Amino acid sequence: MNKNRLFALSAFCCVLTVIAVGVAAQKLQYPMTRKVDHVDTYHGTKVADPYRWLEDDNSAETAKWVEAQNKVTFAYLEKIPYRTKIKERLEQLFNYPKIGAPFRKGEQFFFYKNDGLQNQSVLYVQKGLNGTPEVVLDPNKWSPDGTVRLSFIPSKDAKYAVIGVSKSGSDWQEYQVMDVATRKMLSDKVEWVKVSGAAWAGDGFFYSRYPAPEKGRELSTKNENHQVWFHRVGTSQAQDELVYEDKANPQRFHFAGTTEDERFLLLNISDRGKGKKGNSLFFRDLTKVEKKFTPIVAEIGDDTFGIVDNLGEKFLLQTDKGAPNGKVVLYDPKTEKWSDVLPEKAEPLQGAGTAGGKLFATYLKDVTTKAYVYSLDGKLENEVKMPGPGTAGGFGGNNDDKFVFYNFTSLNYPPTIFRYDIASKKSSVFREVSIPGFKADEYETKQVFFNSKDGTRVPMFLVYKKGLKLDGTNPTLMYGYGGFNITTSPSFSALRIGLLENGFVYASVNMRGGSEYGEKWHEAGTKLKKQNVFDDFIAAAEWLIANKYTSADKLAMNGGSNGGLLVGAVLNQRPDLFKAAVPQVGVMDMLRFHKFTIGWNWIADYGSSDNAAEFKALFAYSPIHNIREIKYPATLITTADHDDRVVPAHSFKYAATLQEKQRGEAPILIRIETKSGHGASNTAKQIEGTADIYAFLFQNLGVTPKFGNMAKN
């Protein structure tokens, strides 16, 4: 990591003067951001980019700008009188044991546990479900500030394990190998791993990596030439075998996997940089000497294919080919024939997995999970009943398992792990949690539906304290994502209680672009149709106001990454609907997102400015390019110095432009986290960041928070 990145100061920095921006702007003075005369031409349209220099994350001038912006932001936050008490309350709420579902290798069960406020979860192992847990790895000891993350991928017999290490929230990983029995790290070290798992096969594993990036540009350089390698335990990375690469198509992902019996190596290839949503799929029989990949799906199109399991020499796959809602099929390589095992249903297939000789499948019914158990030939055996409307996941395991674990959660139902016994077909609570000061029956969750601009029926989940009065005065936070075929599922957040107990309504909107209603729903929020996503969110805000849940003076919005783009676009289009906005790590420059790290991978969803028609659509809503000289709501932009997925330059340029053109009195601030990435790199940073967001919302929505006993302080 280049020490100059963002925060290192230099004598060569330009001198930044401080000026007032807009009209008064709550008497805030923002750092002057130098403008340059830079213009790009897209298909005959000239587009100015006056803050292009902020894309240089190694520039001393950028570092000085970051320091100056953070100084203004934290000075503002520090003046909020209840900021410290909010943080204390969130620490109370978050201070409960968090335990992940166990996963089995042989007789050993591994699981992660966080005692409450540990920066990283600790990995444990025990023999059998009644054994005594022992610590395998504690990543909290790997760095003084707890910003080093752990991933753990054991071999089939749990003799060895790949230990993935990522620092300060970066997507880059370094792989090491552990002797599980002795807990000793071997000399193996594999570098520049990204978009990869570790697929064990005998005494080694397959993984994906990129060539080493230019020194000093590790967090911003475009990642190209994704390669698959095989590493044998006890050897150096220099001895690794190159398994697959495609230099002619440098912006493809090549992802390797192995079947549970380790007989087959699977190669999944996607080309989203060329706007294709699907993938091709190949296999190689590792029992044969010939190292040849055989196609299951030879060409990349818009259909997706994923291996669920192999049944001998045949493959169970989940696909949306000819089935926008998804289905499970059986493919026979010898005859090249496909047959439906679980035909497409009216509800979209959420996921499928095998365990204990059964096929488990989950479906979405109006964004809530329905789970079923089938025989391997697709005969329905029973439904796994959920505690209520909510989100469930898991249901995978080994072929000789007698039971599986799954987790369930909802907006007012804390994450709970259930054990499903395959023989008796019964579920029981395996582990549940208790949140300090939280009583689920004091809160109400409901699902509502509204019509978007074009008449499309869109769902939204609401959670709030019981007894809510529909008088238009309730502070409300809207959240949305709407992209990349990802479902915004109703799920619990202990930190969110800090809002709910202070009278907030939390609204989670299920816009088009996600997978809530299958591939057609996803497609309706992509490329030339992306405006549908913003229209859905705007319609949700209008519904909340019309139905007296809140008003424009009490309404805020929040979203991260693609959701940050959502907030930025909606802020430009309907600033009158909101009092405050918090776009987090957002994709804000829709004309240049594909120029950095793996941004090219998003072209399948967004389109590209290199295409004339797609440029027109992108330019019409790109947050940076549609900021006007008007009154904007209070806005807190957040990003982080180690975000190498959505590089900080997006937020830097957006903040500079918004500060320049703000003509209202509301603050426009940017909070730039250190040693963190696309998400918080540890528990402390997660709580600190959330506390600052909540303080900003309380301050700008006119809410004085009271947190139980803290109301007396």
CA distance linking residue 230 with residue 207, whole number of Å: 6
In whole angstroms, give the CA distance from residue 533 to residue 622.
13
Q: DSSP letters of 575-605?
A: GGG-SEEEEES----TTTGGGSTTGGGGHHH
Tokens standing for residue 140? 């909290």
Helices 562-573/531-546 angle, 10° precision: 70
4/216 Cα distance (integer angstroms): 8
Q: Which residues of 361-375 are buried (b: 16+ CB within 10 A; e: fewer)?
A: bbbbeebbbbbbbbe
678 flagged as catalytic: yes
Q: Give every CB contact of residue 478 below 8 A, 6+ residues apart in sequence.
A: 507, 509, 537, 540, 541, 544, 555, 556, 557, 558
**Other C-beta atoms lying within 10 Å of the C-beta of residue 312:** 8
Distance CA(644)–CA(464), nearest Å, equals 35
Q: Residues 547, 550, 553, CA angle at the centre, nearest 5°?
A: 135
Closest CA to 632 of 669, 675, 682: 669
Q: Which residue has 């259909």 as its token pair?
A: 303
Q: From the candidates 226, 231, 522, 678, which is the catalytic residue?
A: 678
Alpha-carbon distance of 408 to 518, in angstroms, equals 21
Q: How far apart are CA 379 and CA 373, in angstroms?
A: 9
561 is catalytic: yes
DSSP class of 268: E
Catalytic residue, from 208, 491, 561, 609: name it: 561
- Two tokens, residue 541: 């805000």
d(Cα 228, Cα 218) in Å, to the nearest integer? 20
How does DSSP classify residue 517? T
Q: How far apart are CA 23 and CA 27, in angstroms?
A: 9
Active site residues: 561, 678
